[in-house]
Every structure is written in structure tokens, then in C-alpha cells.
Structure 1
Amino acid sequence: MALLTSPNVQRVDSLIAEELDTYVDREHQSVSAKMVQQELVEASLTCNDVLAILTEKADDVLKLAVALLRDESLSQQGADISGLVEGCSITYAIYLYHAQGAIMEELIEYLRRRQIPRASLFAARVFALYGEIKKKSNGRKLPDKNEFS
């Protein structure tokens, strides 16, 4: 799937991994592609929709992903995050898309379709974190692609 090899997806994935002091597992691209394709169908979004979010709101996606992953790590008694799946930024871009739309029920329904446990609680956390991100937004832009060469 071309979306996984998009420079914006790869950069945001790398930034998330860097913030969490881990790595992006790029060895299972066919599995990642199937997962991403299913996510897009269940979110009713296109590759272009996700790329637009990752281009225009990269910093917000990064902040949301890091906050949610750190929350998850803490809830598991401080377990380390040992690698991220390729395309993980796509998942967080989808969460951000729903949070920006400010219709929590859409996010809850999406999470239920994805079989995320306690979808209502998770959606509430996404919305709360997005609210914090908006308040603290400092206009940080995605690093230039040459920084990752």
C-alpha cells in the first residue's frame, strides 16, 4: 500500500518512535498494509484524507500519539514500548480527524468497529488530550524530509 511508503507517514512514524525512545518495525509491511486498509474502510476515509491530516496536522498527530501511547504504557504498570507498527501514525491521524470534528459518537462507533475495548472511555481520553493539545499548540512544523535522509 502506497500510503505506508509515503514520506509523511514514515516521518511521523519516526518522530513518534523517537519521542518514545523506540523504533518502527518495517519488516511486516504486508500485514501493516492490510491493517491500514481495514482502518481506512472502517473510518470512511481515503488515503488522501489521511495524508492531508499528516501534512497539515503532523504535530498534533505526534502529540496525540505520544500522549496515548504513554498513557497505555503507564496503565500497564510502566511497561516499555518495544517497537511500533509501521503506519502507526495513520491510526492517530484517524483519531485526530474524529476529535477535530468534535463528534465523539463517531469516534466511539469507529473504535467499536475496530474492537477497541472500552471505546467510550478511550474516545473521552482522545477528546481530552486533543483539547489539551489545542490549548498548548505552539505551531511546531514537521521537520524537513532531508533531516531523515
Structure 2
Amino acid sequence: MWFKKKIELFNHPLIEKVDKELSSILKADLITSDSEILERLSKEEQKQSGIASSDLLSIYENKKDDLIKFTCYSYSKESKIELVEEYPNPEDDKQDNSDSKTVGLSNGFSITYAIYFYLLSKNDNKGLLDYLSVRRIPSFKKFHERLINYFHESKGVVLSDSYIQYAAGYDKGNVTIEDIDKAIKYIQEMDEEHGAFWISILMDNDEEYVIEVNKRQKVSVMYGEKIDIQYDSQDWNEVKHILKLHIDRKFEDIILTVKKYRKHNKTYKLCGLRA
């Protein structure tokens, strides 16, 4: 007789990858200490949900993008609720979280949201309510209502505030230094027509700050309507340095770099740029 091997989710490579992606989007460190305790709690959580580990894994395999949007949207919304409850006075200066950063997220935390997501995707509202009750979630009925709203609202959410696109058509959100390395290698191997890519950063005022690079190492800096600079870089290392500054939002450093070495003595006005 053949027995189906139980899937261990906590240390599964795909779930670890999603956890890292989520921590990057949420600007939080991924806490990996006390892994034995976290693994035990996670297994208990899965057992209480009554959902097969294979069904939860299928969410990561087939609906990863939707899970990530739901998790980030839910987490962000709940964090704001906690801040309001902690500092109910709107004039309390402690409530100013414009530069706030989540302290940390535990390894395997996305499994919790995968459980929510699975039950919501099955429209099993009673199952979710019972699960939250068993988990002793504070004010679980209100939390249940919020989760239902988050599930539907998150479908229209665009999480990425940066993306990279190749002239050949490939694109990806949440640009990393690895994406830059890959793109530079790619355009060196392409023909003139397809030998270019650009990285766009979406600003709070809905402007796009774009840098385009072609295979001749020409860098075009286009920041909104006020900045438009064409720059012939010295080598691919400098291109990579400029693009790293770009995804780190160090825009003034980029302007100073390209102005220092530009061939044409032209003045560029720096309006509304912040490092």
C-alpha cells in the first residue's frame, strides 16, 4: 500500500521564497531565530485549520501573486488599526508613522495568511470564523469581517512601486540588484533593436522616475517633467552603480553623478527630489 507523503510547509523552499519577498515589500526583517518554536506553532495552526498541507501549498504554486497582494494589503491595514488603537489622540506626535518600518516578521508567517486566503477563496466564511475562534483571535468576529473586505479589496491592489522592462517585452515588479545584473548581461547579448531596458520608480505624487539603458551604455535619466538627461556612462560598473542608486531612491546622488561627467554644460533644475 502506498501512503502519500506529508508535505512540511514551514521549511519549504517556495514558502521561504514568498516570506522573503513579502518581507522585502513590507520593509521588514525576516526573523529566523527560535525556529523550533515557530515551526511547532505553525504546525499547530495548520492542524487547527483542518486544511491539508498540499492544499495550502497549491496556493503558493498557483495563486502566489494573489496571496502576496492579500497578505501585504491585510497586514498594512491591520498595522494602521493597531496604531490608531495605541495612539487614539490624532494630535499625538507618536502617531506620525510616515517613515515607519515594521520591526520584523517571523519565518513562515505567510502560512497564516495562506490559511485565511484558502478559506476565503472557498467562500467558507463559517470555516474562517470557526478557525479564528479556535485560534483565540481578539475580537475575532470583527477581524473576520475585515478579512473578507481585505480579500476582495486586495484584488485591485498594485503592490510594486518599481518595475523593470526590457525592449523585448519582459517585465518584473519590485526591482532588486539581481534584476539589474540580469538585465545588464541580457542587453549585452541582444541586437541594437532589443538591446535596452528601463527601470521605473513610482512616486507618491504618481510621477514616474525612469532610467533607460541601452547596449552602448547610454543612460537616460527622466524624472517626471523636470529632469531629462542623456549620459554616456564610462562602463557597465558605473551603469550598475547608477541603477542601484535609482532603486534605492537616491535620486539627487544620481543627478550629481551624471552632471559631474556630462559632456554638455547644461543646467538641470532639481525640483522636488529627495534622497
Report the TM-score range of the alignment, normalised by the length of the smaller protein. Answer: 0.7 to 0.9
Corresponding letter in the other structure for 2:33: E
Alpha-carbon displacement from aligned partner over 1:94-146 (angstroms, at most 9, x marks no partner): 00011111121110110011111111111111111111233558xxx9x9xxx
Aligned to 1:92: 113
1:53 to 43, 50, 59: 59
Whether the 8 Å CA contact 1:63–1:133 is kept in 2: the answer is: yes
Return 5+ residue gaps in structure 2 as ranges: 1-6, 84-96, 159-171, 179-275
For the pair 1:29 / 2:35, whether they are aligned, the reply is yes
2:49 to 27, 43, 49: 43
Whether the 8 Å CA contact 1:23–1:83 is kept in 2: the answer is: yes
Question: How high is the sequence identity, in percent, across the aligned residues?
Answer: 27
What's the CA shift for 1:55? Answer: 1.1
Helix, strand or coil: the match of 1:92? helix
1-structure distance, mates of 2:69, 2:55:
19
Helix, strand or coil: the match of 1:41? helix
Rg comparison, structure with higher value: 2
Q: Report which stretch shifted further, 13-22 or 77-86.
A: 77-86
Aligned to 1:11: 17
For the pair 1:133 / 2:154, whether they are aligned, the reply is yes
Root-mean-square deviation (CA), in Å? 2.6
For the pair 1:121 / 2:142, whether they are aligned, the reply is yes
Return 5+ residue gaps in structure 1 as ranges: none
Structure 1 or 2: more helix by fraction: 1
Alpha-carbon displacement from aligned partner over 1:7-54 (angstroms, at most 9, x marks no partner): 111111111111110111112210111111111111002221211111
Q: TM-score, normalised by structure 2?
A: 0.47
1-structure distance, mates of 2:32, 2:61:
21
Helix, strand or coil: the match of 1:87? coil
2:128 to 107, 125, 136: 107
